[in-house]
Structure 1
Amino acid sequence: MAAQVTIAPAEINVGDTVTVDVKDLPDGVAFSLGIRGEFNVNPGDRFVFTARCLSLPFSLNSGEVSAYTRGTNWTGLSAKLGEASIGLSNSADENGEFRTSQAYNISSGTYDAIALEGRATPAVKSIIAEMTITGKKKGPNDGTISFALDGVERGTATVTVYINGSEALSQRIVIGSSPSPTETKAPSPGGSSGSSGPTTGPGPATTSSVDGRVSLSGTEIDGAGLLALAVEGTVPTGWSADGRAYAVTPADREFPSPAILSFRLPAADTPATIARYEIGAWLAVPSKIEGDRITTAVSRGGSYVLLVPAPASESTATTVTTTTAVMTTTTAPVTTTAAATPMAPLLPVIALAILLLGWGRRV
């Protein structure tokens, strides 16, 4: 039986509680909960975005807590469960982006708060603040995650649950009665699809993953996010995943004008391709390598990963992860990439051609 997830309500006031009901969720699956806030601020003002009294009915082993903000001079992340706590803060980069992650075994129980606070840059009027917890689930198969959202009187919050690399549900929640905040527009400096910066000038908006490895750019991506995930499912023969997978959220989001998804390569001009997760398998999509980046055009949300040629010492058999996916999606097939094919599967063909050539000369 597939896991079932419901998120409610669709509209709240500051301090109201959000619930995430989960049913039939077995142990060992990769579980991620993302809470993304978008709200207006006065330039230069301090802000705080808090999930207070966060109650978890199960644990997330080998877990991680991560955070991302855009439009800040500096940001701090804090979390506290009983006597255990974490606190991370730093200045944002030159583009006004802050990102951090901390390995953390996330116990079941009630956290006093997980909070993001900081100061807006003088050039922006809106903030994006996102916090994510992820890990391998252990505990009751049924339960309710609950938390109250504090610090933001008007704006939106998007709550997203991923299970084994597939989006179970994404719910956009209106905070207060005001319209959604306006997406900050940011031209890409120097034409780099991996760069972003919150400015008020014309051009495509850009959002980045917490670790900075992946970016999404486009003129109509407001409300979209990037969530890092464990790689689950079948990888094509001859390829291996380079690092984590990344979900363009929400999964059912469609972009009227295609957005550009960009991965940073391990090294410039490395043979690689981008793949999309489809019903338990990673399928290559058309990709373009330019220097130390590889890009693809996307018209909808979903999970993507960077694939590189598998080391020669690895088996050429298809690699499958050990956990069983509990969520399924049905989507249209995608076109395979034009990126370079690994040499290992072609060696027997090359050897046969050389042998036939030598035989023909002797005859």
Structure 2
Amino acid sequence: MSELRQNRATKRWVIVAGERARRPDDFKVKEVSKSLPAHDPLCPFCTGNEAKTPAEVLAMRVPGSSANSPGWQLRVVPNKFPALRPVGDLERREEHAFFRKMDGLGIHEVIIESPVHNENIATMTYRKVEQIMLTYRERYLHLGADTRFQQVTIFRNQGQRAGTSLVHPHSQLIATPIVPSNTRHLLEEAMRYYDDRGSCVFCDMIREELKAKKRVVLETMDFVVFEPYASRVPFETWIVPRRHNASFGNISPGEARKCARVLRRILGSMYQVLGDFDYNYMICTAPFKDANESYYHWHISILPRLTTQAGFELGSGIYITSAFPEDTAKYLAQSIGVGSRKK
């Protein structure tokens, strides 16, 4: 039988279509991925093509190598075709006393995660993923010092269904002078919950998920990984720190490394059970001005692109999923191994 479920943190409803329910292994990508070379001379992100990108703003390099030349392990560059540019002012203007606009001010950067063209973050070494997470943190803190910006959104698009245009391993960030509506919605719902209960909805969610033990995929001393009770898509997975913290920018380098290891384990397990699947992940964090609030809790949301949202989802905002998160969580946890769940 189908169920309507509500996510207590977002207040969004989903439909778990019991009559359409599929086994977790039914979601494995059947298509054989096109074999990619380790180096593509036409790829602007590959070693030797540094001149094809804007000048790097940060890089991890071998000693003795020069900026914007080979010898790097990771590079951060401005997006060549940015959604926003670091010019303009913060004035909000109205047209005809109704329509509102402002300059397209912002920062749009690309984190080129590896010089190897065909590398996959799901199979990278833990050290490389740690470098990526530490870079996220460093850029987040750097941009947070710029008073023009209210929010930095860090995200990764993997595969065409997730919106990527280049296959070379990379993620992105965008700093905005406004708080995005999705973030504002999460903050408002978390604040309402806090006003009503006197506690953080995400902290309570962790406690209840650990108590239920039906949707937990992985536990470590610092993070809990689970598939939300009201998952929007099959295998939707959240990585939530046990320590309450509203902002990703408040984590220590040590916590960033531990988070990276958890992210790598989860993506690696997903890669095992789902094949070469497309996905998005986002670091959901409070705006800079709300970095120390008690009601919000930063986390990473992983959304596999295994199904297609159609008219009902777009019109109603209610996702229809064909898998129960209890089943997919169990399947994913088994791939990690029961013996490693508290590693």
Q: Relative to total residues, which structure has the larger strand share, 1 or 2?
A: 1
Question: Could you say whether these structures have the same fold, taking a TM-score greater than 0.5 normalized by the shorter chain as the test?
Answer: no
Larger Rg: 1
- TM-score normalised per structure 1: 0.26
- TM-score normalised per structure 2: 0.27
Q: Relative to total residues, which structure has the larger helix share, 1 or 2?
A: 2
**Structure with bigger RCO (C-alpha 8 Å, 6+ apart):** 2
